[in-house]
């Protein structure tokens, strides 16, 4: 087993329900080394911070060659799994997404954040289109024999004032979580979601681990852990009841 495969497996194994994995977004080799020195278990980049550190705005404004060069320096300076915020994979079609993933894997990354926001627009990709893109990424990762961790991001909640989040948004999020998981995603990222009730519900129903972005006014990681554990207990309770019937 190669070192890259070992790190990919480790990243996946770090996602254990009830024991949240805390990731701090880094932007270069120096910040990656600083986070590693604190005892972190994995390294994760943030597209905004990486772009800003290079003098660019977020939203794939940073040239892809610089993305790759920065990623390569980060990976060569740490001995932990590295997952990159790749935004929309620098292309709209499945083929374009595959081309970017080949280079990302060749650089040594073992995970990506991959969003359903259309870069440069206000809309989300349709579920069908985004699933096609996820399937294409999974296919090329398998061809390269790297179990890439695809953290599928949805901007359903981030685009709307938290005060206006309601059951319809949650329903859409659950629909996308299921579809993305069936298409090859390993995780589901829901930035902007803050509601305790909705986080619990999503953790309960989602077929893959949920990734929550910590923002001002959010609960602490320990509180989030208690919500996830509550959802897990509720799910186990239903399993027991089904087994008893």
Quick check: helix, strand or coil at residue 153?
strand
- pLDDT by residue (tens digit) across 58-103? 999 999 999 999 999 999 999 999 999 999 999 999 999 999 999 9
Q: Which residues lie across from 196 on neighbouring strands?
A: none
User: Does the pLDDT of residue 11 top 50, yes or no?
Assistant: yes
How far apart are alpha carbons 219 and 198 in whole angstroms?
14
| Residues 46 and 25 sit within 8 Å (Cβ to Cβ) | yes
Per-residue pLDDT averaged across 196-204, rounded? 91
Of 33, 27, 73, the closest CA to residue 50 belongs to 27
Per-residue pLDDT averaged across 166-189, rounded? 97
Quick check: helix, strand or coil at residue 114?
strand
Q: Which residues lie across from 44 on neighbouring strands?
A: 25, 83
Helix 127-143 and helix 167-182: axis angle, to 10°? 30
User: Does the pLDDT of residue 217 top 70, yes or no?
Assistant: no
How far apart are alpha carbons 146 and 148 in whole angstroms?
5
Domains of the chain (ranges plus CATH)? 3-244 (3.20.20.60)
pLDDT given at position 216: 67
């Amino acid at each position: 087993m190669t070192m890259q495969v070992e790190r990919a497996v480790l990243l996946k194994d770090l996602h254990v329900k009830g024991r949240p994995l805390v990731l701090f977004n880094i932007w270069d080799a120096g910040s990656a080394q600083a986070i590693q020195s604190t005892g972190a278990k994995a390294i994760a980049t943030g597209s905004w911070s990486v772009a800003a550190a290079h003098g660019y705005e977020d939203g794939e404004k940073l040239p892809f060659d610089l993305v790759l060069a920065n990623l390569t320096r980060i990976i060569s300076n740490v001995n932990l799994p590295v997952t990159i915020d790749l935004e929309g994979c620098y292309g709209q079609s499945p083929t374009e997404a595959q081309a970017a993933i080949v280079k990302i894997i060749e650089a040594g990354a073992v995970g990506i954040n991959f969003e359903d926001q259309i870069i440069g627009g206000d809309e989300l990709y349709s579920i069908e289109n985004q699933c096609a893109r996820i399937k294409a990424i999974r296919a090329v990762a398998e061809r390269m024999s790297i179990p890439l961790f695809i953290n599928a991001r949805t901007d359903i909640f981030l685009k709307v004032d938290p005060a206006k989040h309601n059951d319809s948004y949650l329903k859409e999020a659950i629909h996308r979580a299921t579809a993305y998981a069936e298409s090859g995603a390993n995780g589901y990222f829901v930035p902007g979601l803050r509601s305790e009730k909705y986080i619990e519900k999503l953790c309960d129903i989602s077929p893959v681990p949920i990734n929550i972005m910590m923002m001002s006014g959010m609960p602490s990681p320990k509180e989030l852990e208690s919500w996830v554990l509550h959802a897990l207990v509720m799910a186990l309770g239903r399993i027991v009841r089904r087994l008893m019937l």
